[in-house]
Structure 1
Amino acid sequence: MNEALGSVVSAVMVDENQDYYFVQPARNGQTYRLAKSEAPQVLHIGGSVKGFVYENADHQLQMTCAHIPTVQVDHYDFGTVVGVRRDLGVFVDIGLPNKDIVVSLDDLPNLKHLWPQPGDRLLLALRVDDHDRLWGQLADEEIFRTIAAKPSRQLINQDVTATIYRLKLAGSLALTADYHLAFIHPSERDQEPRLGQVVKGRVIGLSSHGGVNLSLKPRAYQAINDDAAQILALLKHSQDHQLPLTDKSSPAEIKALLGISKGQFKRAVGHLLRARLVNQINGKLILLKEPSDD
């Protein structure tokens, strides 16, 4: 097995042509092409150079000094998904100009609609198989625990961005942009996010495992319909934050003030009551609080 692949190595220049130097790492025996435009200096026979070695998309052994990726053998970082092949896996851009790295379908969810899509992010390193092929190796739980930061209670109710890194029956595991481990219970999402998907949510609590609990559902005031939003706006801008209406008001009174049916009004008020934004007292609808991040 070519153990140099996927790593930064030192090599010696052994030949050249108009466009390339040809270099060999010590104790390797393989020859790699290095574009002269990428060489850090003019090389002569026996001159040494250091760079990242890999097999490019044309199956040529190559060294790069200008596009050294942070994703390497035993070195984890995020790469961006750029393609999907159902019979193979997903292709990930790690920064090489002429090579994308495949994460095998064996390492992806059984349900293909949960596979990463172009633009999604995966934390991975490289591995070399017995046929000297480079593959993407997804980070395991231990890697994520190693890089995770400890959250504080000040995060509760904050909006965060997170990348999904594991799908489980119990819920989705994610890593926030600030490197906090996160858990999303199925009840706190409308649909299961994909592996690698970047989601926006809010912190609803701290978990017993040293991470945070997220909700991907909108806050109550963000989820209200147009009728409820209209009622909230009227309450907010009235001098005493009240309206002379309740669900006991006549259809004519509701229509005259709001221009909606009594059925629409009752549904909207029901939503606002459940969100604890309003109350009905003495024949009036009263604003309890401004829509907030609760």
Structure 2
Amino acid sequence: MIQLGRKQELTVVKLVDFGVYLGEKIGAGEKERVLLPKKQVPEGTGEGDVLTVFIYKDSSDRLIATTREPAAELGHLAVLKVAAVGKIGAFLDWGLEKDLFLPFKEQTKRVHEGEECLVALYADKSDRLCATMKVYHYLKKNSPYIIGDEVTGRVYEISDNFGVFVAVDNQYSGLIPKREAQGEYKVGDVLSCRVTNVKEDGKLDLSTKQKAYIQIDEDAKNVLQVIEEFAGVLPFDDKAAPEVIQREFGLSKNAFKRAVGHLLKEKRVKIEGGRIYKL
């Protein structure tokens, strides 16, 4: 059976002026055939030879074979560059003559020419190969990582309810939970994270924060820098509303209070009259 979106070995069943026809075998029972264009046919190819090819569709929506190596197969993931953006979606360079279509409805953010995005390859209702940025169901759950490991991942979706979804190594399922997702994140960001939990199903919980004792030092430096930007007097203290703290520092209220406590202990700030003063 000739499989769309897959690399497979097929037999040369007929030679023609414009290429060769490939099938699973030679014989009267042969039903499925696909054309390998002449410019793709290796020199010296003859009837009965077996070739490894990739099957996709040409601009006329006909099955066609190629000996070129695509960046992804059906159901697989790849980071691809946007070649062009049209009225109904974007087109990605995946190593074949015909660019891969990324519909607007399959984008988790609007993409622009020249940028890279993580996508999975799927077949739409018309059996055409397309790309999707909604890669959650395509990610693996058998990563080699354990709690405490440092990993690199790409943000592929952001949820107000769950947090920041990250594809670790562009292939494993990871999440920065909402409680940990302090600061600004964008789809496409490549992050350095720490594994904080490996769930029973293999999915990874992540944090961009360092281990607690390191993170408090970093947060304290951040808080002190912001106080300096307020000319040394912060117009609120650690009892401020969480949204104010998030806006000014990109920290949770608890992280802010820990950082301020650290600075108080080091006698670098003081709290007086509902304000924080740099010493």
Range class of TM-score, shorter chain: 0.5 to 0.7
Q: Contact 1:227–1:264 (CA<8 Å) still a contact in 2? A: no
Separation in structure 1 between the aligned mates of residue 223 and residue 206 of structure 2, nearest angstrom: 30
Q: TM (normalized to structure 1)?
A: 0.59
1:28 to 24, 28, 32: 32
Q: Deviations over 1:82-119 (max 9, x none)?
A: 146364223233332x122112223234xxxx234443
Structure 2 partner of 1:255: none
Q: Report the Cα offset of residue 60 of structure 1.
A: 7.2
Higher gyration radius (CA)? 1
Q: Report the Cα offset of residue 42 of structure 1.
A: 1.0
Q: Contact 2:117–2:133 (CA<8 Å) still a contact in 1? A: no
Q: TM (normalized to structure 2)?
A: 0.62
Task: Tell me which amino acid in the other structure corresponds to 1:28.
Answer: E
**Structure 1 SS opposite 2:105:** helix
Q: Report the Cα offset of residue 71 of structure 1.
A: 1.9
Task: Tell me which amino acid in the other structure corresponds to 1:214.
Answer: S
2:184 to 183, 191, 203: 191
Q: How large is the RMSD of aligned CA atoms in angstroms?
A: 4.3
Q: How do 1:83-98 residues align onto structure 2 when only pairs under 5 Å count?
A: 83=83, 85=85, 87-96=87-96, 98=97
Structure 2 partner of 1:77: 77
Structure 1: stretches of 5+ with no match in the other structure? 230-259, 286-294
Q: Contact 1:164–1:193 (CA<8 Å) still a contact in 2? A: yes
Q: How do 1:108-119 residues align onto structure 2 when only pairs under 5 Å count?
A: 108-109=107-108, 114-117=109-112, 118-119=114-115
Structure 2 partner of 1:256: none
Structure 2 partner of 1:236: none
Separation in structure 1 between the aligned mates of residue 92 and residue 220 of structure 2, nearest angstrom: 35
Query: Would you say how many aligned residue pairs link Structure 1 and Structure 2?
Result: 232
Structure 1 partner of 2:245: none
Separation in structure 2 between the aligned mates of residue 52 and residue 45 of structure 1, nearest angstrom: 19
Separation in structure 1 between the aligned mates of residue 259 and residue 50 of structure 2, nearest angstrom: 74
Structure 2: stretches of 5+ with no match in the other structure? 25-30, 238-255, 270-279
Structure 1 partner of 2:167: 175
% same residue: 13
Q: Contact 2:148–2:194 (CA<8 Å) still a contact in 1? A: no
**Structure 2 SS opposite 1:202:** strand
Task: Tell me which amino acid in the other structure corresponds to 1:68.
Answer: E
Structure 2 partner of 1:136: 131
Structure 2 partner of 1:50: 52
**Structure 1 SS opposite 2:148:** helix
